[in-house]
């Protein structure tokens, strides 16, 4: 949906929800700037009727009544448009909190913060606060790359893009012409999956290696977008993330849900700790460090040593 139309619909919805009496078309036209710029009465009437139908399709209950001047009036009563109570368990609240962190350095940071405040007031469980860290180290999804926002919008709008990209083995960046499919974070880095037009094949790009500006291009996609885009699997293959053995770790009860999802076995130890067996491959030490004091590596010894070394480096930094 175009930004101008979305803004117009939002303004119309706010007018209809905020009024205590039915508003006529004339009053609504005088209250909404986009309607004042509509030009002729016929253009305004067509625009208004489309907007009213769109709001109703989105679920807004709009009543049509006769007002005191004999004109047809419109309003949306709040009691007819009230959402049911929102209830979230601890895991759902934690997921929302983590998702909001994606926007901590993007344009929607204020909107994400406000939305979470409303959700917390409406039903976040007691003791769950997505804004407060729960340990010395906290898993985060940072968005430092300037390419993130234009690529996110290009994925949403299905717009081809061009950018300069520096491969890990190349001294200089080269141009890329890409049909973007999806963005995903893996091990603290953002990656873009899409169709590389120059190479005629699916490719995955690390955002930190994109140099300069991302520019959108007109036209439609030339390749079909797959139903499932496997960004993480592709990157894990590059990293040599082959899990041919298992590691034993202690994990604090109620924490480390991504680790629990990967575990092949979980055993309660008591005193607030569980023992897990998880697949062990390249890069596991860096992932475990993200969970800070909630994880203790039991074996193998080399994995434990790698994690300790990384934690010491973090402490010195």
Q: What's the confidence (pLDDT) of residue 169?
A: 57
pLDDT in tens, 147-165: 898 998 999 889 999 999 9
- The percent of residues in the chain predicted with pLDDT above 70, rounded, is 73
State the pLDDT at residue 134: 44
Of 203, 221, 238, the residue at which a domain comes to its end is 238
Backbone angles phi, psi at 163, to 5 degrees: -160, 165
* Region 116-141 average pLDDT: 50
Considering the domain architecture, whether residues 118 and 155 belong to the same structural domain is answered as no
153/233 same-domain check: yes
Three-state SS at 273: strand
**Whether residues 49 and 72 fall in one domain:** yes
Whether 153 and 106 map to the same domain: the answer is no
My answer on whether 303 and 264 are in the same domain is yes
pLDDT digits (tens, 9 = 90+) for 262-315: 889 999 999 999 999 998 876 678 778 888 899 999 999 888 988 888 888 777
Tokens coding 158: 């299905």
Mean pLDDT over 244-251 rounds to 88
Rounded to whole angstroms, how far apart are CA atoms 237 and 79? 53
Domain total of the chain: 4
Same domain, 165 and 216: yes
Q: Is there a single domain that holds both residue 233 and residue 253? A: no
pTM of the model: 0.41
* pLDDT for residue 137 is more than 50: no
Instruction: Judge residue 281's burial from the number of C-beta atoms within 10 Å of its C-beta, 0-12 exposed, 13-18 middle, 19 or more buried.
Output: middle
Q: pLDDT per residue over 18-49, tens digit each?
A: 888 888 888 888 888 888 887 788 889 999 99
Q: Provide the phi-psi class of 92: left if phi over 0, else alpha when psi is between -120 and 50, else beta.
A: alpha
The first and second tokens of residue 182, run together, are: 């999806």
Note down the domain range covering 231.
148-238
Predicted local confidence at residue 292, as pLDDT: 87
| 273 and 191 co-located in one domain | no
Among 78-87, 90-99, 219-228, where is mean pLDDT lowest?
90-99
pLDDT in tens, 229-239: 777 776 665 54
Do 93 and 76 fall into the same domain? no
Q: What is the mean pLDDT of residues 196-207?
A: 90
Residue 139 lies in a domain: no
- Which tens digit of pLDDT belongs to each residue from 9-26? 888 998 888 888 888 888
Same domain, yes or no, for 13 and 90? no
């Amino acid at each position: 949906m175009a930004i101008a139309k979305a803004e117009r619909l939002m303004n119309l919805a706010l007018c209809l929800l905020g009024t205590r009496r039915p508003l006529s078309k004339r009053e609504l036209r005088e209250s909404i700037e986009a309607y004042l710029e509509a030009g002729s009465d016929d253009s305004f009437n067509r625009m208004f009727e489309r907007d009213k139908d769109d709001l109703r399709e989105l679920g807004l209950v709009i009543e049509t009544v006769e007002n005191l001047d004999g004109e047809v009036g419109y309003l949306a009563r709040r009691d007819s448009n009230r959402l049911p109570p929102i209830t979230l368990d601890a895991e759902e609240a934690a997921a929302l909190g983590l998702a909001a962190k994606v926007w901590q350095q993007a344009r929607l940071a204020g909107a994400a913060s406000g939305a979470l405040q409303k959700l917390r007031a409406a039903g976040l469980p007691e003791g769950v606060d997505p804004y407060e860290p729960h340990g010395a180290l906290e898993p985060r999804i940072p968005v430092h790359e300037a390419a993130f926002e234009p690529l996110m919008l290009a994925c949403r709008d299905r717009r081809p893009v061009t950018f300069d990209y520096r491969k890990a083995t190349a001294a200089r960046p080269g141009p890329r012409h890409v049909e973007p499919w999806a963005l995903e974070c893996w091990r603290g880095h953002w990656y873009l999956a899409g169709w590389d037009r120059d190479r005629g094949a699916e490719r995955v790009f690390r955002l930190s290696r994109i140099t300069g500006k991302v520019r959108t291009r007109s036209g439609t996609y030339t390749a079909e977008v797959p139903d499932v885009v496997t960004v993480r699997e592709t990157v894990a293959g590059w990293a040599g993330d082959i899990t041919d053995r298992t590691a034993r770790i202690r994990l604090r009860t109620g924490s480390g849900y991504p680790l629990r999802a990967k575990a092949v076995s979980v055993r309660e130890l008591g005193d607030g700790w569980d023992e897990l067996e998880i697949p062990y491959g390249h890069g596991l030490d860096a992932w475990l460090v993200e969970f800070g004091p909630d994880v203790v590596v039991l074996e193998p010894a080399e994995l434990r040593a790698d994690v300790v070394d990384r934690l010491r480096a973090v402490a010195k930094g």
